[in-house]
């Protein structure tokens, strides 16, 4: 193993030592969960009565539910009584210059090709005058307002746009949907709210916005995106840079609503702390993501690059309700060390002539387990619908596992479903071929892997696609060959 790899591995493996100290701001808030806690939480957030009702109803539903165990992963269940359900925005460490940043982290940033000024932002260095983030941020805000796009935190939306929130929150993922969605509905901390008005193309990719104003929303994030008739938006959450968080459980809920002719593209890059070599520590990423193509000719597309977290359970889904609506799911899930990922999608075809595409690429290395679990369901009335799914797995090393659990069903005679899956490894012949062209083994492997995931990464917003490739290289460095 090269020095470089060692450094990187220790960086990824080690507990994060810099910054993110315990926050004094919420020390007075008690741990555990109860109706009183939820009331307290809601009142601190100055929420209206109906929001509190929503939370309490969800909490009562949650109490009756059992923690699911059906997925292909084993882990210690979180102790819900020992969690803190209120967190104020995090205090970032304040450093004077990039030289103060952990050199390993800087190395990663450089490898990812993150611009210098952004590196400072991410590392929490005070930004100098040349790169005035505030002014850029403000100009973005103006641009969005001009177009009539509402983009704010969900807490703000609850106060400023109660009608929209009331109408749509919980309409795609009801509180009773599943155990973690119910918990989130009861105690969600914050998140994003996005409303694109009729016939408006969001003037900028909301991903760009995050590059500048990297929002943090705590462990129970709640996102709601509404695209009105003819509207379109591209949204990116997450970041290629490794993310550390002291909260072990992350149970987010993301709801997307697309009306007639609307188009929502939602991309995720997830690189949370994945635990050490022995599988100790690491984040549990239990997310419920679902979009509904409510209107005719609407389209929802999920793209995800999952590389972090100790345990990932995540199934971004699309309900294709409107006629001629389109659902897409592009995913790359990489697991190394003792990571466990059980991820996939659901495409529920209800409207006529609906189309869905699923492209899922799983790469398992080390002692990890990577599962694709998906459902394609074509209802009786969804005549003329089509689905095409491909899920390919690649195994690297002899101690990992790859699994596919696709559920496919059709109930009418004019629809068609095609599913194919393969499991393979980086072929010796492929490596040999590239090496005899003068390419080093490591580069050859990296090229082959990049080729394997190309179909998915090309769906990412351009500026992230390059980083994503590099992230994969870093993640898998040393595990092949």
Partner 1 sequence: MVKMSTVSTKELIHAYVQLSGKLRENFNELRSQAKETLDNCPFPTKKDEEWRFTDLKSITSNKFESVDTSVAQANLELDEFHLPEAMNSRLVFIDGNFSPSHSAIEGMPDGVIVGNISDFAEHEQLLSHLGTITNYEDDVFVPLNDVNFQDGTFIYVPKETVIEQPIHILNVFTHRNNPHFVTPRVLFVGEMFSKATIIEEHIGLSDNVYLNVPVNEFRLYSGAHVHHARIQRDSKNASHISRPVAMLDAHAEYHSYTICLGSKLFRNEPRVIQNAEEVDFTVDGLVLIDGEQIADTHSIMDHRFSHGNSHQLHKVVVNDQAHSIFNGKIFVAKDAQKIDSFQENRNLLISDSGKVNTKPQLEIFADDVRCSHGATIGQLQDEEVFYLQSRGLTEQKSRELLVYAFALESVESMAVKSVEELLLKEVIAYTNRD
Minimal distance, residue 469 CB to partner 1, in Å: 23
Residues that bind partner 1 (CB under 8 A): 70, 378, 380, 393, 395-425
**CA angle centred on 472, ends 389 and 211, rounded to 5°:** 95
Q: Are 76 and 25 in contact (CB under 8 A)?
A: no
SS3 292: strand
Please, what sign has the CA dihedral across residues 266, 269, 272, 277? positive
The phi, psi pair for 212, rounded to 5°, reads -90, -45
46: left (phi over 0), alpha (psi -120 to 50) or beta: left
Minimal distance, residue 419 CB to partner 1, in Å: 4
Minimal distance, residue 318 CB to partner 1, in Å: 19
Structure tokens at 239: 């970041």
Minimal distance, residue 10 CB to partner 1, in Å: 26
Minimal distance, residue 69 CB to partner 1, in Å: 11
Label the pairing between strands 222-227 and 253-258. Answer: parallel
SS3 207: helix
Q: How many Å is the Cα radius of gyration of the chain?
A: 22
Minimal distance, residue 317 CB to partner 1, in Å: 17
Q: Which is nearer to partner 1, 119 or 343 (CB)?
A: 343
Minimal distance, residue 463 CB to partner 1, in Å: 34
Q: Which is nearer to partner 1, 179 or 405 (CB)?
A: 405
Q: Can you tell me which residue has the tokens 């996102």?
A: 223
Q: Which is nearer to partner 1, 341 or 378 (CB)?
A: 378
Q: Which is nearer to partner 1, 13 or 397 (CB)?
A: 397
Minimal distance, residue 376 CB to partner 1, in Å: 9
Q: Specify the DSSP class assigned to residue 196.
A: E
Helices (H), 124-268: 133-147, 154-160, 162-168, 179-187, 206-212
Residue 63, number of CB atoms within 10 A of its CB: 12
Label the pairing between strands 263-270 and 299-306. Answer: parallel
Q: Which is nearer to partner 1, 97 or 422 (CB)?
A: 422
Minimal distance, residue 428 CB to partner 1, in Å: 9
Q: Which is nearer to partner 1, 92 or 403 (CB)?
A: 403
Q: Specify the DSSP class assigned to residue 392.
A: E
Q: Which is nearer to partner 1, 155 or 364 (CB)?
A: 364
Q: Which is nearer to partner 1, 1 or 413 (CB)?
A: 413
Helices (H), 45-115: 49-64, 103-112
Q: Which is nearer to partner 1, 331 or 410 (CB)?
A: 410
What is the length of the chain? Answer: 481
């Amino acid at each position: 193993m090269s020095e470089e790899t060692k450094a990187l591995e220790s960086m990824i493996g080690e507990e994060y030592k810099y910054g993110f100290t315990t926050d004094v701001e919420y020390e007075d808030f008690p741990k555990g969960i109860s109706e009183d806690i939820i009331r307290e939480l809601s009142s601190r957030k100055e929420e209206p009565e109906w929001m509190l009702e929503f939370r309490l109803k969800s909490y009562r539903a949650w109490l009756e539910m059992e923690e699911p165990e059906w997925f292909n992963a084993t882990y210690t269940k979180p102790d819900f009584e020992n969690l803190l359900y209120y967190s104020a925005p995090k205090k970032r460490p304040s450093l004077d210059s990039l030289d103060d940043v952990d050199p390993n982290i800087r190395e990663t940033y450089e490898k990812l090709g993150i611009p210098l000024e952004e590196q400072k932002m991410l590392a929490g260095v005070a930004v100098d005058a040349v790169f005035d983030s505030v002014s850029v941020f403000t100009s973005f805000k103006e641009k969005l307002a001009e177009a009539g796009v509402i983009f704010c935190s969900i807490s703000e939306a609850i106060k400023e746009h109660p009608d929209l929130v009331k109408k749509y929150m919980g309409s795609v993922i009801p509180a009773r949907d599943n155990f973690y969605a119910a918990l989130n509905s009861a105690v969600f901390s914050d998140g994003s709210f996005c409303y694109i008005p009729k016939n408006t193309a969001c003037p900028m990719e909301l991903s760009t916005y995050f590059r500048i104003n990297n929002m943090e929303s705590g462990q129970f994030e709640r996102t709601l995106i509404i695209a009105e008739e003819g509207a379109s938006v591209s949204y990116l959450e997450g970041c290629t840079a490794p993310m550390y968080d002291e909260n072990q459980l992350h149970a987010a809920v993301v709801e997307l609503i697309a009306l007639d002719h609307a188009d929502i593209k939602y991309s995720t890059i997830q690189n949370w702390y994945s635990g050490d070599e022995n599988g100790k520590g690491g984040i549990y990423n239990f997310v419920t993501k679902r979009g509904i193509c409510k209107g005719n000719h609407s389209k929802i597309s999920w793209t995800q690059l999952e590389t972090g977290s100790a345990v990932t359970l995540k199934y971004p889904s699309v309900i294709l309700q409107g006629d001629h609506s389109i659902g897409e799911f592009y995913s790359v899930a990489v697991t190394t060390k003792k990571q466990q990922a059980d991820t996939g999608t659901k495409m529920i075809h209800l409207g006529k002539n609906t189309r869905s595409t699923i492209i899922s690429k799983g790469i398992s290395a080390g002692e990890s387990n990577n599962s694709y679990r998906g459902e394609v369901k074509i209802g009786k009335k969804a005549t003329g619908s089509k689905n095409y799914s491909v899920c390919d797995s690649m195994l690297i090393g002899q101690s990992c596992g790859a699994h596919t659990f696709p559920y496919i069903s059709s109930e009418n005679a004019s629809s068609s479903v095609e599913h194919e899956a393969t499991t393979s490894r980086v072929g010796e012949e492929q490596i040999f071929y590239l090496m005899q062209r003068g390419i080093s083994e490591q580069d050859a492997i990296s090229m082959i892997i990049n080729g394997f995931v190309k179909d998915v990464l090309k769906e990412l917003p351009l500026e992230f696609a390059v980083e994503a490739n590099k992230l994969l290289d870093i993640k898998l460095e040393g595990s092949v060959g």
